[in-house]
């Protein structure tokens, strides 16, 4: 198996979800530090334009988006499963709901002000927020966002009301990691810290999730990661092929994210399955790579 390489930065909540997943599976992995703001030349060299964090690399295969990455980790190390058998829909639904807290929290922090460096705010103003959205108006909606976050915390508290240690039972899974990852930022301001004060079960659950840790981490330079990609060959598809109607392998396509600001990726359509989209790219420094995306939240569009 190729080394697991994670391109990330420390304060990224979405990267924390995957770091915890690696810890849950007790996997060894190489850490490549990516810039918090654009430009990200080494990351984009591998992805072809996708600029969000984290990105997982296995040789010449590049996996974007935490939903895609989580499925890869379950393939590499099935036990313990991130998506428990028989509870896949419950886990997926709970994970998707839990992630709504992230955007509420980011908008709340923009409304509070003074939390993030100015260059980070300007980058996210251009790459996270759709055109026409006025971040300066977040102060007006701050009280609403804080109440929305409280409501989500209340739902977590109720989910744990029967004394279960984790959201779906006795063992942690991706639902816990998805619900935890925005909460790691609560300590950035006293107004969000106070939201946890009335809760009895959520703070203890937070510490149980945090205690999972990050597995066996070692550092790697971005240029070394690119060399690893160049020396490798993309892995063949192992699942059942599934291509959009009217498209065939080798067609020129572009991958577009539903979420604003992720960046588009152009290439040729590679063998893909029901849950994953793959495009093949030829790069100057990394050679031939295949970039993978989850089916959900991404579209494949044919180009001339």
Q: What is the pLDDT along the chain (304 residues), one digit of tens a residue?
A: 689 999 999 999 999 999 999 999 999 999 999 999 989 999 999 999 999 999 999 999 999 999 999 999 999 999 999 999 999 999 999 999 998 999 899 889 999 999 988 888 888 776 666 666 677 788 999 999 999 999 999 999 999 999 999 999 999 999 999 999 999 999 999 999 999 999 999 999 999 999 999 999 999 999 999 999 999 999 998 878 899 999 999 999 999 999 877 889 999 999 999 999 999 999 999 999 999 999 999 999 999 7
Q: How does strand 28-33 pair with strand 4-8?
A: parallel
How far CA 170 is from CA of 25, 148, 167, in Å, comes to: 16, 28, 8
Q: How many alpha carbons fall within 13 Å on the CB side of residue 81?
A: 9
Q: What is the pLDDT of residue 193?
A: 95
User: What pTM, to 2 d.p., does this model score?
Assistant: 0.95
- Is 183 domain-assigned? yes
Task: Give the pLDDT confidence score for residue 117 in this predicted structure.
Answer: 87
Query: Going along 130-187, which residue ranges are E strands?
Result: none
What values do phi and psi take at 68, rounded to 5? Answer: -70, -45
Residue 133 in any domain: the answer is yes
**d(Cα 145, Cα 116) in Å, to the nearest integer?**
18
In a domain, 21, yes or no: no
250 within some domain:
no
The answer to whether 52 and 291 have CB atoms below 8 angstroms apart is no
Q: Is 225 helix (H, G, I), strand (E, B) or coil?
A: helix
Residues spanned by the domain of 104: 88-210
| CATH number for the domain that contains residue 154 | 1.20.1050.10
- Cβ(37)–Cβ(11) under 8 Å? no
Residue 156: its H or E element: helix 138-159
Question: Is residue 10 a part of any domain in this protein?
Answer: no
Residue 215 falls inside a structural domain? no
Q: How many domains are contained in the chain?
A: 1
Per the domain annotation, does 7 fall within a domain?
no
What's the CA gap between 177 and 20, in Å, rounded?
7
- DSSP bridge partners of 280: 268, 290
Nearest to 31 by CA among 225, 169, 203, 186: 225
d(CA 54, CA 264): 16
How many Å apart are CA 250 and CA 238, to the nearest integer?
A: 18
Residue spans of beta strands (DSSP E) within the chain: 4-8, 28-33, 55-58, 61-64, 216-219, 252-257, 265-269, 276-283, 287-294, 298-302
Residue 175 lies in a domain: yes
Q: Give residue 250's region: left, alpha or beta (phi > 0; psi -120 to 50).
A: left
Distance CA 3, CA 248 (A): 31
Radius of gyration of the chain (CA): 19
Query: Is the Cβ–Cβ distance between 173 and 165 less than 8 Å?
Result: no
């Amino acid at each position: 198996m190729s080394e697991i390489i994670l391109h990330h930065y420390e304060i990224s909540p979405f990267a924390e979800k995957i770091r915890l997943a690696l810890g849950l599976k007790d996997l060894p992995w190489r850490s490549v530090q990516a810039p918090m703001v654009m430009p990200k030349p080494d990351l984009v060299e591998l992805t072809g334009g996708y600029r969000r964090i984290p990105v997982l690399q296995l040789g010449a295969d590049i996996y974007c988006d935490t939903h895609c990455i989580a499925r890869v980790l379950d393939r590499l190390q099935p036990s313990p499963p991130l998506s428990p058998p028989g509870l896949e829909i419950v886990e997926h639904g709970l994970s998707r709901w839990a992630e709504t807290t992230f955007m509420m929290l980011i908008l709340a922090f923009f409304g509070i002000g003074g939390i993030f460096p100015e260059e980070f705010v300007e980058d996210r103003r251009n790459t996270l927020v759709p055109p026409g959205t006025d971040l300066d108006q977040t102060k007006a909606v701050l009280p609403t966002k804080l109440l929305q976050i409280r409501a989500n915390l209340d739902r977590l508290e109720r989910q744990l009301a029967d004394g279960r240690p984790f959201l779906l039972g006795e063992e942690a899974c991706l639902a816990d990691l998805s619900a935890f990852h925005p909460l790691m930022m609560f300590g950035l301001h006293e107004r969000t810290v106070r939201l946890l004060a009335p809760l009895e079960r959520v703070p203890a659950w937070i510490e149980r999730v945090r205690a999972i840790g990050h597995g066996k981490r070692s550092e790697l330079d971005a240029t070394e990661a690119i060399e690893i990609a160049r020396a490798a060959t993309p892995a063949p598809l192992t699942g059942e092929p599934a291509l959009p109607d009217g498209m065939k392998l080798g067609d020129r396509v572009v991958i577009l994210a539903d979420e604003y600001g992720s960046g588009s990726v152009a290439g040729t359509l590679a063998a893909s399955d029901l849950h994953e989209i793959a495009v093949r790219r030829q790069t100057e420094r990394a050679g031939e790579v295949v970039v993978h995306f989850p089916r959900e939240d991404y579209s494949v569009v044919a180009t001339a």
